[in-house]
């Protein structure tokens, strides 16, 4: 039986940073600018984009550029767009630097530690094909920032981290009894991991995270009034496909929203995908099948 987890995490902006720019005290969301791959339809192959903007958890240092957000439209909109600092300064446990989870850069998405050792230890029992919807309570609604469909898992002690994940997450958690879940990559026929994203800044105003409503296959899955914690539901379905399809439908209903399947990091310069990206020069999205 498939399982869907709705994971509520802090949705506000990052408020506290140390002298080097690392997040301390409390996790937050950033509206980030990267290059990467995205698609406007789940069954259309993602293509390279020079610029993508998305909401995510990234607690390593970033530089901020203010956006033009009218006060009358401020709810849910970012105040700044943030660019990743390269190279990433070495984090410090003693300084209270926070790790980034889920980690969505340089390859398959990873979920590695958050709330795994609390009362919700059963979250470590997720299997291939299970799905986690990471989001936050905002203005009485559930807003989505990451959809991770599990492909595989390994104890953190035997997982071989890639360089940037090692620096911004693994180095801050590796002594814990955690499980690293690797997300499924894009597939035309099966659910896959993605972040809602955009390839423009909407006239300098940015974009709010898409709202998921308890409609269709999400009825009983999404609880808009819930503000924190984890909601785990065994599904009556053999797979999460109906839920995934409804999530995609609602996400793509947000103006200009795309499904981001690969998010680059400037320190991933040794990856073949990044070299391909440099040659691609951010080709614009092309029209494909209509969802």
| 156-195 per-position pLDDT tens digit | 989 988 889 998 999 888 778 899 999 999 999 999 999 9
pLDDT digits (tens, 9 = 90+) for 255-276: 999 999 999 999 985 444 433 3
**Dihedrals φ, ψ of 280, to 5°?**
-70, -30
What is the arithmetic mean of pLDDT over 221-247?
82
Looking at every residue in the chain, the average pLDDT score rounds to: 87
Check residues 274 and 218 and name the one with the higher pLDDT: 218
In this predicted structure, the answer to whether residue 281 has a pLDDT above a threshold of 60 is: no
d(CA 35, CA 52): 5
- Taking CA atoms, 68 is separated from 60, 71, 272, in Å, by 24, 9, 36
Structure tokens at 195: 């972040």
d(CA 100, CA 30): 11
DSSP classification of residue 217: G
* Contacts of range 212-220, beta carbons closer than 8 Å, 24 or more positions apart: 212/133, 212/135, 212/141, 212/142, 212/143, 212/144, 212/247, 212/250, 212/251, 213/141, 213/250, 215/246, 215/250, 216/246, 216/249, 217/242, 217/243, 217/245, 217/246, 218/243, 218/246, 218/247, 218/250
Quick check: helix, strand or coil at residue 154? strand
Check residues 66 and 228 and name the one with the higher pLDDT: 66
Residue 161 burial (CB < 10 Å; 0-12/13-18/19+)? middle
pLDDT digits (tens, 9 = 90+) for 55-94: 999 999 999 999 988 775 667 899 999 999 999 998 887 7
pLDDT at position 72 is 59
User: Who contacts 190 (Cβ-Cβ below 8 Å, separation ≥6)?
Assistant: 149, 184, 241
Quick check: helix, strand or coil at residue 55? strand
| pTM, 2 dp | 0.90
User: Who contacts 265 (Cβ-Cβ below 8 Å, separation ≥6)?
Assistant: 34, 84, 105, 106, 164
Check residues 52 and 279 and name the one with the higher pLDDT: 52
pLDDT at position 282 is 36
Question: Of the ranges 81-90, 113-122, 281-290, which is most confident?
Answer: 81-90
């Amino acid at each position: 039986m498939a399982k869907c987890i709705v994971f509520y995490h802090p949705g506000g902006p990052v408020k506290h940073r140390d002298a080097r720019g690392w997040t301390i005290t409390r996790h937050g969301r950033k509206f980030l600018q990267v290059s990467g791959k995205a698609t406007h339809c789940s069954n259309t192959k993602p293509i390279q984009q020079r610029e993508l903007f998305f909401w995510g958890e990234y607690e390593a240092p970033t530089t901020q550029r203010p956006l033009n957000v009218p006060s009358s439209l401020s709810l849910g909109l970012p105040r700044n767009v943030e660019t990743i600092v390269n190279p990433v300064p070495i984090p410090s446990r003693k300084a209270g630097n926070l790790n980034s989870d889920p980690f969505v850069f340089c390859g398959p998405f990873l979920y590695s530690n958050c709330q795994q050792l609390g009362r919700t230890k059963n979250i470590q029992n997720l299997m291939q094909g299970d799905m986690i919807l990471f989001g936050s309570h905002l203005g009485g609604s559930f807003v989505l920032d990451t959809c991770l469909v599990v492909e595989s898992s390994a104890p953190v002690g035997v997982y071989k981290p890639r360089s940037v994940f090692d620096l911004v997450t693994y180095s801050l958690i590796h002594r814990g009894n955690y499980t690293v879940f690797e997300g499924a990559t894009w597939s035309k026929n099966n659910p896959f991991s993605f972040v809602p994203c955009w390839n423009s800044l909407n006239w300098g105003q940015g974009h709010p995270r898409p709202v998921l409503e308890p409609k269709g296959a999400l009825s009983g899955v999404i609880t808009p009034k819930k503000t924190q914690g984890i909601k785990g539901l065994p599904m009556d379905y053999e797979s999460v496909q109906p839920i995934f399809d409804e999530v995609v439908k609602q996400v793509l209903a947000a103006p200009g929203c795309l499904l981001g399947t690969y998010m680059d990091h400037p320190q991933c310069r040794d990856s073949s995908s990044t070299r391909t990206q440099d040659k691609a020069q951010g080709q614009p999205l092309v029209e494909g099948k209509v969802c």
